[in-house]
């Protein structure tokens, strides 16, 4: 039998990445992560627990849709629109003029993100109306 990797009293950091599948409506600081196609959460955590590090990797609403306004990690606003030079697809342009188009959106999220949806555009709102409500 081999020696255990850790011993009682060791200080360790455990990182677990997962999709949030539940936020407690009675206690919004409590959330569960797990498989979005599974049944419920496999683990619960609290946002106010100083022993647990919480880092947003990607917003649930990503990728952008035309008309959305997104905020980057530094607080700058970005507008999602159809790129003029391509005529279709999606572009994300910052208030300073910087921008990313179509396949570059993943790079935008890596360089400037994680992005948070600030204001949903009309296309996103229309899609939300067409989706059946979950129980």
Q: Reduced to 3 states, what is the DSSP secondary structure of residue 51?
A: coil
Q: Are residues 74 and 43 in the same domain?
A: no
- Within a domain: residue 63? no
- Within a domain: residue 51? yes
Instruction: Point out the least confidently predicted range of 14-18, 55-59, 129-133.
Output: 129-133
Return the closest-CA partner of residue 76 out of 45, 54, 99, 56: 99
Q: Are residues 51 and 73 in the same domain?
A: no
Q: Are residues 34 and 83 in the same domain?
A: no
Q: Are residues 43 and 89 in the same domain?
A: no
pLDDT band at 112 (very low <50, low <70, confident <90, very high): very high
Q: Which class for 108: exposed (0-12), middle (13-18), buried (19 or more C-beta within 10 A)? A: buried
Q: Are residues 81 and 126 in the same domain?
A: yes
Q: Are residues 9 and 34 in the same domain?
A: yes
pLDDT at position 81 is 95
Q: Are residues 47 and 5 in the same domain?
A: yes
Q: Are residues 82 and 126 in the same domain?
A: yes
pLDDT band at 1 (very low <50, low <70, confident <90, very high): low
Residue 135 has pLDDT above 60, yes or no: no
Higher pLDDT, 93 or 49: 93
Number of domains into which the chain is organized: 2
- Within a domain: residue 60? no
Which two structure tokens, joined as six digits, stand for 77?
A: 């606003």
Q: List, for residues 29-88, the tens digit of each pLDDT value.
A: 999 999 888 888 989 999 898 888 888 888 989 999 999 999 999 999 999 999 987 778
Residue 125 has pLDDT above 90, yes or no: yes
pTM of model > 0.85:
no
Q: Are residues 44 and 1 in the same domain?
A: yes
Q: Are residues 9 and 47 in the same domain?
A: yes
SS3 breakdown of the chain: % helix, strand, coil, rounded to 5? Answer: 15, 25, 60
At residue 73, φ and ψ (nearest 5 deg) are -65, -25
pLDDT at position 123 is 92
Average pLDDT value over all residues in the chain: 88
Range of the domain at 31: 1-55
Q: Where are the beta strands (DSSP E) in the chain?
A: 19-23, 30-34, 43-46, 69-71, 77-81, 91-94, 99-101, 116-119
Q: Token match 């979950």: residue?
A: 134
Q: What angle do CA 117, 75, 14 make, to 5 degrees?
A: 75
- Within a domain: residue 61? no
């Amino acid at each position: 039998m081999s020696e255990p990797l850790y011993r009682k009293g060791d200080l360790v950091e455990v990182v677990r990445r997962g999709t949030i599948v539940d936020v407690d409506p009675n206690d919004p600081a409590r959330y569960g992560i797990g498989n979005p196609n599974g049944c419920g959460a496999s683990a619960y955590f609290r946002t106010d627990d100083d022993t647990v590090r919480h880092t947003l990797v990607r917003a649930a609403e990503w990728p952008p849709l035309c008309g959305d306004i997104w905020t980057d990690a530094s607080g700058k606003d970005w507008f999602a629109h159809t790129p003029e030079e391509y005529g279709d697809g999606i572009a994300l342009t910052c208030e300073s003029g910087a921008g990313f188009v179509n396949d570059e959106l993943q790079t935008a999220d890596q360089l400037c993100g994680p992005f948070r949806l600030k204001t949903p555009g009309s296309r996103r709102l229309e899609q939300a109306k067409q989706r059946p409500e979950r129980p």
